[in-house]
């Protein structure tokens, strides 16, 4: 997070325009004098509750853009202090043909975004893949982790505690299953650091993304441990930040978080030329240079912009959009085959998605899942495969336009000149 | 992305339930036989265009949840193939008192989310901070990078080319400024790897997030170079994946991407006890253990869940939600002061935000910015400071509940039992 | 690997002093004209062979510093093209009292280094730990990995191959054991990326560091696979760079490479004051700031300078010094206890060490192991615990001097002013 | 650092063989009862001092392997508590033809190692490169950083302090130059995290590796600051672990630590076939798979085994061997050219090397530098270029043997069967 002296100098000039450093210091001072008026708490989403909340809000020229008097009780279990809804435009790319272990067919991709050119790009990629026969997709593994942490006086206590857990771990499966119909404990891993122990509790979570499910199951396991172990920790927490929740981590990338899917497609060069206006060789040149660009900048994995489609699909389909932080990692690879066709593959190990739970039941989100025929139970594996296919479509399209040299123009035209 | 043999065995059993490995192979085969029907392209957002698109969509029980016949021309420049909008419920946390270099006052935080308990948690954190006099916030640096890549026959050519650029770089400032009123080239950095050269073109972008602006300016610089340099690269790309666009990278974390803001607050222990039901010491214990949890899992920076508030504010306020991938990194630090108060700070170096451009002008998004009094020109710096303050509020609240042991219950109650 | 334009300008001036860029280009040209005289190959280490080699060497004023006519046949199995020996001074720190699961007693630490102040610093740390009753040390896990890679036409082939391996993996244990008396296959992990499969073959290796042992066993497993599987890879390699050999990796850090040891000590503040001239509080302040220094710079783990003692002990004791690259990672943590004592702990997960094999049998190296009473079979676990204890001693001493403000003076005095 | 339950179970069985968990706990207890006998301190290296030290050492069968009564006063400024020397066999690879900006000619490579096959492999690589006309090498940038850290009550104080430094930074150049004839301050970068400020003081250090030089200069700068600034930090340290000293970090990899050198060679396929018994295509296949192997395991950069040659050359040539931890990072890249020749390049950004200072003046180390004609002033840039060339030679040779499938056999034969 370093800034060189020349750049800092320029920043200082911006901050100190029209004021002294002491005035800046004054601005930063805590202010306990002015009255503070807290926004009222509440889960209710009826018209009255929402209207009341708007009385605490000033300066909005067209509040009806957020709230137009409609009944919003349907959102009640998904939000607090609700004042209405934001509307995100949603467009369709594809369909994308997916030949997967769970997904099978041509999937329309609902993408919610406010960024021009995004859907056009994914659409192009989806068409190219589909024209080539579709992408093969395979779910390689799945799992969601919670990581309670336990602190002890000494390493000696920590290993006694670990040993106790090791000896009693069979019981935990039962305890975990008592909390959920869908969550299933897979294994407990032990990550010891000095006198600290982090347990990595790995679960499968059925068709839900499952973060709450694994929290509740882990809480139950921890409480069982605390009530039964002869070694009491100094303190413990149900989550000690080793689960990879809401962040990109090397650990999740190297194992799995949610679902790990690999997709691939082989595209004849004539399709590359026709749709992408470039050659297989140049796309592979791009891949090589961009993969090392990722390495040189310390990304986790190497890929282009999985985040674009994941954010757009997550928002459209009622997923937890904050999970883009962890899901948007993986490896894209392009190779030239002997017949000049392009072999393109993407592997996304951290797709924490679900087709039940979370926001999936909300009205427009449920409709978006229905567009893909993937709403409800039994569909999360296929949904993950389709998401991965969409990510690959985006990689192919953007690399195509960068290789062809028309990336800037495409963005320029679509964003500025309409 | 490794899976041990026991876990893979279980996965294999799931995949091979009711079918053989050859049947799985068949499912993965490219399918060029079935007809493929492409979704029609188009930027129009009038009723007719949208209705026509719906004729290509099947199986949606209540399409009116996405499109109810309203005029959507306002979205025309932000999306393609539009079929309507998804509605994300938005709630208010706070207000959050911010004493910043640019932000000043009590800011209501509009958060769009479908995850129960999220707003309640940020609300609590915002109240605690505000009761303590608010958070101090400072914008430390800003900049957005594009990274064109140039490939040469030999290192020798690469250094001649680099040298030419070095000698002519003054001209680039002019070229860049010709493309934009707001973008300003700051510096060009050179990242050579063998016979490859990546240029890191660093810009400021006024009050816009600015990714398109820097693309266009960089394209102009590259074209100027190509037209004028005596050394022709074998090939080149306007972006070679070294800019950190749409991904968490060590490089962006260590420099800046968008805006870097530090915030801090000092909270008396009595507020900790009253609002968070725990002690300063236990919160600091949590911080220590969770910071090392981040280290042990290879996160970029160490923090808890910046992604939650960034995703929710980005969606509400017309930011590019895919940028959660890069923005949700930084460092949270908690310390106990001699008087038992809690010193809490958060530093977010990659907040790529704007108050003009992108989705900020769309109806509900503009309204959300107005709720904060931060719509339009002159507000992006303050907006970044408020976002960082919100991130800190979330860290304080969630660490409070983990330290107090009521994290699970809070989620359980809010999500399951309403 | 980026350089800003000002710095590059300065570099260009250095390179272009007294010459043009074209002259630099000329200097870089391949030279196939001048005759090339290859140094003669050979494993022999007798006087005649070595003397003959010296005839190919010019310009050494005192060749006897490297070779003085002695018999060097003892080195024959450890080197090729031998011309003598380099002498590295070795000093003793400690002894270090270790209360370990395998190490027990007061260990003199033989450290080979040419860096002034290093041994003095470790000596001080070892004395402080020992005066506090010694460090507790526990071997947490062990294992060495080889990672063959297999490439296929399609993901479909890759999963068939994986499935075959999964079904036949029991046989591999037998195959592996046929190659070695000491190596034992623990598990095979599968890391799939598109149509590529990396197998992570995890072994224990008795008291040897074991890299050759696992290579030979993995080769046998691979050959067995290739001969028996119905699915032939396009190509394969016995090591595809996913084992962490000779490099720091997040993967090895997060699992184990060689041996993982945690050590801890609790030091009363009066010992801190007496030996380190500082306070527990300031040392903890240092730890906090330096841990985040590590985070801010993207180190793998957070620690100060494990490399110093590991390099010095590895060289002294016949270990593979190149493994410093992977071994010098881990986590150091300092906390203040209620009685103001210092809790200090170090966890080193990648100590790839042995007490048999490699250079351990060479004369001075064997003597160095004897100084610790740790030469030969049955001692590698204890040796790893002692190395980890030495690492902690170094952390305590250097942090002490940084906290006390006498770090610079110590180095200055010992290095410059003798 | 996680271990799954099955593996931990096996570890527990090893630890608990023949003893209970309580007996293990007893073994870990601090021991303040037994007498502790400290090894005597001392810098003297005369016969008497050394002999006296041996009286404190037991159990060494042939102490003469370490100390045979010779005069070791020459080591006096490089070590404490000296008891003799360890002898590391040194062999020659090459010569390696280097066409560099500073290195020019055929360099014999002195490599000190105890690992069989290492020199044979580098030798082969050096011959192949040289036969192809040698490698082109260019020093891209240089610099060594120290990172003092300053802690303040508030961000407000931190920015006042930063501002003061910004305003007075010109003075620091003078202060720094007062401490050294060779060190030169290049820039100061500011890395702020909450109320903490890390200064990154970047220096060039002439022909010395320079760590002590930059410590002393930074100490002087810090003292100047503390004496003159009106804002007193709560505490500060001359090094706050943000310099990358003795560890691999993303920051050093992305900038420079010591010297950054790129080398390249173009090898006709007939040389590949003749010397490496494989094809260009297969070597490029290997590169692609191994580069992604590095990415999948979270290495810093992607390369094979730079550590092998760096450790061996550092030990032979009086470098700080602990710096292998930071130096052994970079990027190797292989490409197939249209004429089937192999383009191979290596970029090493963290080569912290010197030809004066440290251990370079010690007898055998100075001789090793003389073998390369690179002892003393004016040679460090060329030395860095040769080291990088050696690293590339190793990559080519090992990838050749992995691609040809004879890697295992080569190691097996050289290590086991002599």
D278 Cβ partners below 8 Å, 6+ apart? D272, D400, D403, D404
Residue of C137, C250, C293 lying closest to D241 (CB–CB): C293
The predicted model gives D360-371 an average pLDDT of 98
D226: contact with C, CB 8 A cutoff: no
Q: Which chains touch A (3 or more CB pairs under 8 A)?
A: B, C, D
Residue A314 three-state SS: helix
Tell me the shortest Cα–Cα distance from C72 to chain A, in angstroms.
44
B77: contact with A, CB 8 A cutoff: yes
Asked about C411 being catalytic, the answer comes back as yes
Q: Tell me, what's the pLDDT at C181?
A: 87
Per-residue tokens: C85 = 């020996």
> Is C138 close to A159, i.e. CB distance below 8 A?
yes
> Is B5 close to C159, i.e. CB distance below 8 A?
no
C51: contact with A, CB 8 A cutoff: no
Query: Among all residues of chain D, which has the CA nearest to that of C374?
Result: D59
How many Cβ pairs closer than 8 A exist between chain A and C? 73
DSSP assignment of A197-213, as one string? Answer: EEEEEEEE-TTB--HHH
Spatial CA neighbour of C171 closest among C132, C216, C223, C224: C224
Query: For chain A, what's the residue count?
Result: 418
Residue A179 three-state SS: coil
Q: Which residues of C touch D151 (CB under 8 A)?
A: 285, 289
Q: Tell me, what's the pLDDT at C343?
A: 98
Among D239, D269, D320, D385, the one annotated catalytic: D320
Q: Which chains touch D (3 or more CB pairs under 8 A)?
A: A, B, C
Residue of A192, A254, A331 lying closest to C140 (CB–CB): A192
Question: Does the structure show a pLDDT above 60 at B416?
Answer: no
The three-point CA angle B92-B94-B95 to 5° equals 110
The three-point CA angle B330-B331-B333 to 5° equals 160
DSSP assignment of A4-19, as one string? Answer: EHHHHHHHHHHHTTTS
Confidence of residue A407 (pLDDT cuts 50, 70, 90): confident
The predicted model gives A353-370 an average pLDDT of 98
Relative orientation angle of helices C211-228 and C155-177, to the nearest 10 degrees: 120
Spatial CA neighbour of A201 closest among A233, A226, A169: A169
Q: Tell me, what's the pLDDT at B415?
A: 58
A14 Cβ partners below 8 Å, 6+ apart? none
A8: contact with D, CB 8 A cutoff: yes
C-alpha to C-alpha distances, B25 to A102, B388, C156, C157, nearest whole angstrom: 12, 49, 6, 8
d(CA C412, CA C418) in angstroms, rounded, equals: 10
- Tell me the pairing of strands C196-204 and C235-237: unpaired
The predicted model gives B146-167 an average pLDDT of 97
Q: Tell me, what's the pLDDT at C356?
A: 97
Tell me the shortest Cα–Cα distance from A329 to chain B, in angstroms.
8
Tell me the shortest Cα–Cα distance from A90 to chain D, in angstroms.
34
Residue A370 half-sphere exposure toward CB, CA atoms < 13 A: 18
d(CA D141, CA D52) in angstroms, rounded, equals: 48
The predicted-structure confidence for D372-381, as pLDDT tens digits, reads as follows 999 999 999 9
> Is D2 close to A190, i.e. CB distance below 8 A?
yes
Per-residue tokens: B388 = 């960082």
A356 Cβ partners below 8 Å, 6+ apart? A206, A207, A208, A376, A377, A380
**pTM greater than the 0.95 cutoff:** yes
Range 329-348 of C in CB contact (< 8 A) with B? 331, 333, 335
> Is C136 close to A159, i.e. CB distance below 8 A?
no
The predicted model gives A343-368 an average pLDDT of 98
C196: contact with B, CB 8 A cutoff: no
Question: Does the structure show a pLDDT above 90 at D416?
Answer: no
Asked about D320 being catalytic, the answer comes back as yes
Pick among A37, A66, A111 to test the B interface (most B CBs inside 10 A): A66
Pick among A26, A155, A156, A187 to test the D interface (most D CBs inside 10 A): A156
- Please name the residue ranges forming H helices in C16-132: 21-28, 47-54, 118-131
Q: Tell me, what's the pLDDT at B411?
A: 73
Can you list the residues of chain C whose pLDDT is less than 70? 412, 414-418
d(CA C222, CA C188) in angstroms, rounded, equals: 12
d(CA A289, CA A304) in angstroms, rounded, equals: 11
d(CA D83, CA C90) in angstroms, rounded, equals: 6
C-alpha to C-alpha distances, D104 to C204, C259, C297, D78, nearest whole angstrom: 46, 43, 35, 31
Relative orientation angle of helices D407-416 and D118-131, to the nearest 10 degrees: 130
C-alpha to C-alpha distances, C96 to B107, C355, C381, C390, nearest whole angstrom: 58, 19, 16, 7
The predicted-structure confidence for D381-405, as pLDDT tens digits, reads as follows 999 999 999 999 999 999 999 999 9
Torsion of CA D43, D44, D50, D56, to 10 degrees: -40
Question: Does the structure show a pLDDT above 90 at A414?
Answer: no
- Tell me the pairing of strands B258-267 and B342-351: antiparallel
Question: Does the structure show a pLDDT above 90 at A285?
Answer: yes
Q: Tell me, what's the pLDDT at D195?
A: 98
Q: Which residues of C touch B200 (CB under 8 A)?
A: 2
d(CA C268, CA B72) in angstroms, rounded, equals: 71
Question: Does the structure show a pLDDT above 60 at D418?
Answer: no
Question: What is the predicted ipTM?
Answer: 0.97
Tell me the shortest Cα–Cα distance from C409 to chain B, in angstroms.
30
> Is C88 close to D86, i.e. CB distance below 8 A?
yes
Asked about D411 being catalytic, the answer comes back as yes
Q: Which residues of A touch B87 (CB under 8 A)?
A: 85-87, 362-364
The predicted-structure confidence for D248-272, as pLDDT tens digits, reads as follows 999 999 999 999 999 999 999 999 9
d(CA A63, CA B371) in angstroms, rounded, equals: 9
D293: contact with B, CB 8 A cutoff: no
Residue of C108, C134, C136 lying closest to D39 (CB–CB): C108
Confidence of residue A158 (pLDDT cuts 50, 70, 90): very high
> Is C79 close to D97, i.e. CB distance below 8 A?
no
Backbone dihedral angles phi then psi of residue B187, each to the nearest 5 degrees: -160, 165
Residue B168 three-state SS: helix
Pick among A2, A7, A146, A291 to test the D interface (most D CBs inside 10 A): A2
D27: contact with A, CB 8 A cutoff: no
Report chain B's mean pLDDT, rounded to a whole number. 96
Q: How many CB atoms lie within 10 A of CB D181?
A: 8
Spatial CA neighbour of C27 closest among C15, C35, C37, C36: C15
A154: contact with C, CB 8 A cutoff: yes
How many Cβ pairs closer than 8 A exist between chain B and D? 73
Q: Does an H or E element contain B97, and which?
A: strand B82-100
The predicted model gives A95-115 an average pLDDT of 98
Q: C86-117: b or e for each residue (b if 16 or more CB lie within 10 Å)? A: bbbbbbbbbbbbbbbbbbbbbbbbbbbbbbbb
Pick among D155, D297, D337 to test the B interface (most B CBs inside 10 A): D155
Q: Tell me, what's the pLDDT at D408?
A: 83
> Is B345 close to D154, i.e. CB distance below 8 A?
no
Per-state percent for chain B, helix, strand, coil, to nearest 5: 45, 25, 35
Q: Which residues of D touch B155 (CB under 8 A)?
A: 136, 138, 262-264, 345
């Amino acid at each position: 997070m370093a800034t060189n002296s020349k750049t800092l100098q320029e920043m200082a000039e911006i901050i100190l325009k029209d004021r002294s450093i002491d005035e800046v210091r004054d601005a930063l001072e805590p202010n306990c004098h002015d009255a503070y008026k807290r926004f009222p708490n509440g889960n209710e989403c009826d018209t009255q509750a929402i209207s009341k909340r708007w009385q605490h809000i000033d300066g909005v020229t067209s509040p009806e853009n957020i709230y137009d008097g409609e009944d919003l009780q349907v959102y009640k279990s998904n939000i607090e202090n609700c004042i209405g809804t934001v509307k995100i435009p949603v467009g369709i790319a594809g369909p994308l043909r997916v030949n997967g272990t769970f997904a099978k067919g041509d999937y329309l991709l609902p993408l919610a975004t406010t960024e021009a050119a995004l859907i056009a790009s994914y659409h192009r990629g989806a068409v190219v893949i589909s024209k080539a026969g579709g992408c093969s997709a395979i779910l390689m593994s799945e799992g969601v982790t919670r990581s309670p942490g336990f602190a002890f006086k000494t390493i000696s206590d920590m290993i006694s505690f670990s040993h106790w857990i090791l000896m009693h771990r069979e019981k935990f499966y039962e305890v975990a299953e008592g909390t959920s119909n869908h969550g299933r404990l897979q294994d407990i891993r032990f990550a010891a650091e000095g006198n600290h122990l982090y347990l990595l509790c790995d679960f499968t979570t059925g068709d839900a993304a499952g973060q709450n499910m694994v929290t509740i199951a882990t809480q139950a396991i921890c409480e069982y441990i605390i009530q039964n172990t002869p070694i009491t920790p100094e303190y413990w927490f149900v989550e000690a930040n080793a689960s990879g929740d809401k962040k990109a981590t090397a650990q999740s990338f190297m194992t799995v978080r949610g679902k790990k899917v690999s997709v691939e497609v082989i595209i004849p060069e004539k399709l590359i030329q026709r749709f992408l206006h470039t050659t297989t060789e140049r796309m592979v040149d791009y891949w090589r240079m961009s993969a090392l660009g990722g390495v040189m900048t310390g990304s986790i994995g190497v890929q282009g912009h999985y985040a674009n489609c994941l954010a757009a699909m997550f928002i459209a389909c009622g997923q937890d959009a904050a999970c883009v932080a962890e899901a948007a990692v993986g490896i894209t690879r392009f190779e030239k085959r002997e017949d000049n066709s392009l072999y393109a593959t993407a592997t996304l190990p951290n797709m924490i998605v679900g087709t039940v739970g979370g926001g999936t039941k909300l009205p427009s989100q449920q409709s978006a899942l229905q567009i893909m025929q993937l709403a409800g139970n039994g569909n999360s594996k296929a949904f993950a495969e389709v998401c991965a296919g969409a990510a690959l479509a985006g990689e192919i399209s953007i690399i195509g336009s960068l290789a062809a040299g028309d990336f800037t123009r495409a963005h320029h035209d679509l964003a500025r000149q309409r």
